[in-house]
Amino acid sequence: MFVALVPTEEARAHLDSFLDVRRDAGDLRWSAPDQVHLTLAFCADVPERAYDDLVERLERAAAKRTAFDCRIAGGGAFPDVAQAKVVWAGLETEDDTAADELDLLAAGARAAANRAGAPTDGARFRPHLTVGRPRYPHDVTNWVRLLDSYAGPWWRADEIALVHSHLGEGPRGRPRHEVVETLALSEP
Protein backbone atom coordinates (compact mmCIF):
# COMPACT_ATOMS: atom_id res chain seq x y z
CA MET A 1 0.00 0.00 0.00
CA PHE A 2 0.99 3.59 -0.33
CA VAL A 3 -0.29 7.01 0.64
CA ALA A 4 -0.47 9.42 -2.27
CA LEU A 5 -1.45 12.82 -3.47
CA VAL A 6 -3.40 12.10 -6.65
CA PRO A 7 -3.67 14.88 -9.25
CA THR A 8 -7.07 15.71 -10.64
CA GLU A 9 -8.22 13.91 -13.76
CA GLU A 10 -7.78 17.17 -15.70
CA ALA A 11 -4.17 17.53 -14.54
CA ARG A 12 -3.33 13.90 -15.45
CA ALA A 13 -5.06 14.21 -18.84
CA HIS A 14 -3.11 17.39 -19.61
CA LEU A 15 0.21 15.66 -18.85
CA ASP A 16 -0.89 12.62 -20.85
CA SER A 17 -1.68 14.79 -23.89
CA PHE A 18 1.71 16.48 -23.60
CA LEU A 19 3.54 13.14 -23.48
CA ASP A 20 1.32 11.18 -25.86
CA VAL A 21 2.66 12.65 -29.11
CA ARG A 22 6.23 12.04 -27.92
CA ARG A 23 6.03 8.55 -26.43
CA ASP A 24 7.14 6.68 -29.55
CA ALA A 25 10.42 8.63 -29.58
CA GLY A 26 11.82 6.94 -26.49
CA ASP A 27 12.55 3.51 -25.13
CA LEU A 28 10.52 3.95 -21.93
CA ARG A 29 7.78 1.95 -20.25
CA TRP A 30 5.24 4.68 -19.62
CA SER A 31 3.10 4.97 -16.51
CA ALA A 32 -0.62 4.66 -17.20
CA PRO A 33 -2.19 8.13 -16.91
CA ASP A 34 -4.68 6.95 -14.27
CA GLN A 35 -1.80 5.73 -12.09
CA VAL A 36 0.22 8.94 -12.04
CA HIS A 37 0.50 10.06 -8.41
CA LEU A 38 2.89 11.54 -5.88
CA THR A 39 3.81 8.97 -3.21
CA LEU A 40 3.89 10.42 0.30
CA ALA A 41 4.58 7.15 2.11
CA PHE A 42 5.18 3.61 0.86
CA CYS A 43 4.23 0.68 3.11
CA ALA A 44 5.56 -2.60 1.77
CA ASP A 45 3.43 -4.55 4.23
CA VAL A 46 0.25 -3.47 6.00
CA PRO A 47 -0.89 -6.20 8.40
CA GLU A 48 -4.67 -6.61 8.42
CA ARG A 49 -4.75 -5.87 12.15
CA ALA A 50 -3.07 -2.47 11.50
CA TYR A 51 -5.42 -1.28 8.74
CA ASP A 52 -8.09 0.49 10.85
CA ASP A 53 -5.46 2.18 13.01
CA LEU A 54 -3.60 3.25 9.86
CA VAL A 55 -6.72 4.86 8.40
CA GLU A 56 -7.50 6.67 11.68
CA ARG A 57 -3.95 7.97 12.00
CA LEU A 58 -3.85 9.08 8.35
CA GLU A 59 -7.16 10.87 8.80
CA ARG A 60 -5.74 12.83 11.75
CA ALA A 61 -2.48 13.54 9.91
CA ALA A 62 -4.36 14.83 6.84
CA ALA A 63 -6.64 17.03 8.96
CA LYS A 64 -3.56 18.76 10.46
CA ARG A 65 -2.46 19.93 7.00
CA THR A 66 -4.01 22.68 4.91
CA ALA A 67 -5.16 22.21 1.30
CA PHE A 68 -2.98 24.00 -1.26
CA ASP A 69 -2.78 24.74 -4.96
CA CYS A 70 -0.19 23.00 -7.11
CA ARG A 71 0.53 21.82 -10.63
CA ILE A 72 2.61 19.22 -12.39
CA ALA A 73 5.65 21.02 -13.78
CA GLY A 74 9.27 20.29 -14.66
CA GLY A 75 10.96 16.95 -14.39
CA GLY A 76 14.00 14.88 -13.60
CA ALA A 77 15.40 11.37 -13.31
CA PHE A 78 16.53 8.97 -10.60
CA PRO A 79 19.25 8.26 -9.69
CA ASP A 80 20.54 10.79 -12.27
CA VAL A 81 19.96 11.70 -15.93
CA ALA A 82 23.05 9.82 -17.16
CA GLN A 83 22.00 6.40 -15.81
CA ALA A 84 18.28 6.89 -15.24
CA LYS A 85 16.01 4.16 -13.94
CA VAL A 86 13.03 6.50 -13.47
CA VAL A 87 11.85 9.57 -15.40
CA TRP A 88 9.59 11.84 -13.38
CA ALA A 89 7.54 15.01 -13.52
CA GLY A 90 7.76 17.49 -10.68
CA LEU A 91 5.15 19.18 -8.54
CA GLU A 92 5.16 22.96 -8.27
CA THR A 93 3.36 24.60 -5.37
CA GLU A 94 1.91 28.10 -5.28
CA ASP A 95 4.40 29.33 -2.65
CA ASP A 96 6.83 28.27 0.06
CA THR A 97 4.01 27.79 2.57
CA ALA A 98 2.40 25.21 0.26
CA ALA A 99 5.77 23.51 -0.27
CA ASP A 100 6.13 23.27 3.51
CA GLU A 101 2.61 21.79 3.76
CA LEU A 102 3.58 19.11 1.23
CA ASP A 103 6.71 18.19 3.20
CA LEU A 104 4.74 18.10 6.47
CA LEU A 105 2.01 16.04 4.81
CA ALA A 106 4.57 13.43 3.75
CA ALA A 107 6.16 13.41 7.21
CA GLY A 108 2.74 13.03 8.83
CA ALA A 109 1.73 10.18 6.52
CA ARG A 110 4.98 8.35 7.23
CA ALA A 111 4.68 8.85 10.98
CA ALA A 112 1.05 7.65 10.92
CA ALA A 113 1.96 4.50 9.03
CA ASN A 114 4.92 3.70 11.27
CA ARG A 115 2.89 4.22 14.45
CA ALA A 116 0.09 2.02 13.09
CA GLY A 117 2.50 -0.87 12.55
CA ALA A 118 2.85 -0.48 8.77
CA PRO A 119 6.52 0.54 8.44
CA THR A 120 7.42 2.86 5.58
CA ASP A 121 10.52 2.68 3.44
CA GLY A 122 13.36 4.82 4.68
CA ALA A 123 13.97 6.77 1.49
CA ARG A 124 14.09 10.56 1.79
CA PHE A 125 10.93 12.29 0.53
CA ARG A 126 11.54 13.80 -2.89
CA PRO A 127 8.26 14.96 -4.45
CA HIS A 128 7.86 13.50 -7.93
CA LEU A 129 5.36 11.73 -10.18
CA THR A 130 6.84 8.78 -12.07
CA VAL A 131 5.97 9.04 -15.77
CA GLY A 132 8.24 6.37 -17.23
CA ARG A 133 11.02 3.87 -16.69
CA PRO A 134 13.80 3.13 -19.17
CA ARG A 135 14.05 -0.53 -20.16
CA TYR A 136 17.68 -0.33 -19.02
CA PRO A 137 19.57 2.50 -17.27
CA HIS A 138 20.68 5.11 -19.78
CA ASP A 139 20.91 8.85 -20.47
CA VAL A 140 17.51 10.58 -20.50
CA THR A 141 18.69 14.19 -20.76
CA ASN A 142 16.35 14.89 -23.68
CA TRP A 143 13.32 13.63 -21.72
CA VAL A 144 14.25 15.75 -18.69
CA ARG A 145 14.68 18.83 -20.91
CA LEU A 146 11.27 18.15 -22.43
CA LEU A 147 9.64 17.81 -19.00
CA ASP A 148 11.41 20.98 -17.83
CA SER A 149 9.40 22.83 -20.48
CA TYR A 150 6.11 21.44 -19.17
CA ALA A 151 3.70 23.19 -16.79
CA GLY A 152 0.21 21.78 -16.36
CA PRO A 153 -2.96 23.38 -15.03
CA TRP A 154 -3.22 24.39 -11.37
CA TRP A 155 -5.33 22.15 -9.14
CA ARG A 156 -6.33 22.05 -5.51
CA ALA A 157 -4.65 19.37 -3.39
CA ASP A 158 -7.37 18.85 -0.79
CA GLU A 159 -7.13 15.14 0.00
CA ILE A 160 -4.75 12.22 0.15
CA ALA A 161 -5.46 8.64 -0.84
CA LEU A 162 -4.56 5.30 0.67
CA VAL A 163 -3.91 3.05 -2.30
CA HIS A 164 -3.69 -0.74 -2.46
CA SER A 165 -1.26 -1.85 -5.15
CA HIS A 166 -2.15 -5.24 -6.65
CA LEU A 167 1.13 -6.42 -8.15
CA GLY A 168 0.92 -8.04 -11.58
CA GLU A 169 -2.85 -7.51 -11.94
CA GLY A 170 -2.74 -4.51 -14.28
CA PRO A 171 -2.27 -4.35 -18.06
CA ARG A 172 0.86 -6.17 -19.28
CA GLY A 173 1.59 -7.52 -15.81
CA ARG A 174 1.93 -4.10 -14.19
CA PRO A 175 0.42 -3.21 -10.83
CA ARG A 176 -3.23 -2.28 -10.57
CA HIS A 177 -3.91 0.55 -8.12
CA GLU A 178 -7.09 0.70 -6.06
CA VAL A 179 -7.90 3.73 -3.91
CA VAL A 180 -9.29 2.26 -0.69
CA GLU A 181 -9.61 5.46 1.37
CA THR A 182 -9.52 9.21 0.74
CA LEU A 183 -8.71 11.54 3.60
CA ALA A 184 -9.46 15.27 3.54
CA LEU A 185 -6.98 18.04 4.23
CA SER A 186 -8.18 21.08 6.17
CA GLU A 187 -9.34 24.14 4.27
CA PRO A 188 -7.32 27.32 4.86
Distance between CA atoms of 7 and 70, rounded to whole angstroms? 9
Q: What is the dihedral of CA 20, 126, 59, 99, to 10 degrees?
A: -90
pLDDT band for position 138 (50/70/90)?
A: very high
Strand-pair category, 2-5 with 129-134:
unpaired
The pLDDT assigned to 107 comes to: 96
Residue 153 vs residue 34, higher pLDDT: 153
Residue 143: name the closest of 92, 84, 93, 91 by CA: 84
The SS3 call for residue 101 is: helix
Report pLDDT digits (tens) over 49-67.
999 999 999 999 999 999 9
> What is the arithmetic mean of pLDDT over 129-154?
95
The pLDDT assigned to 168 comes to: 67
pLDDT band for position 145 (50/70/90)?
A: very high
Report pLDDT digits (tens) over 151-161.
999 999 999 99
Q: Does position 73 have pLDDT exceeding 90, yes or no?
A: yes
The SS3 call for residue 117 is: coil
Report pLDDT digits (tens) over 115-135.
999 999 877 899 999 999 999
pLDDT band for position 177 (50/70/90)?
A: confident
Residue 65: name the closest of 8, 111, 25 by CA: 111
How large a percentage of the chain has pLDDT more than 70? 97
Of the candidate ranges 7-21, 82-96, 166-180, the one whose mean pLDDT is the lowest:
166-180
Q: Does position 170 have pLDDT exceeding 70, yes or no?
A: no
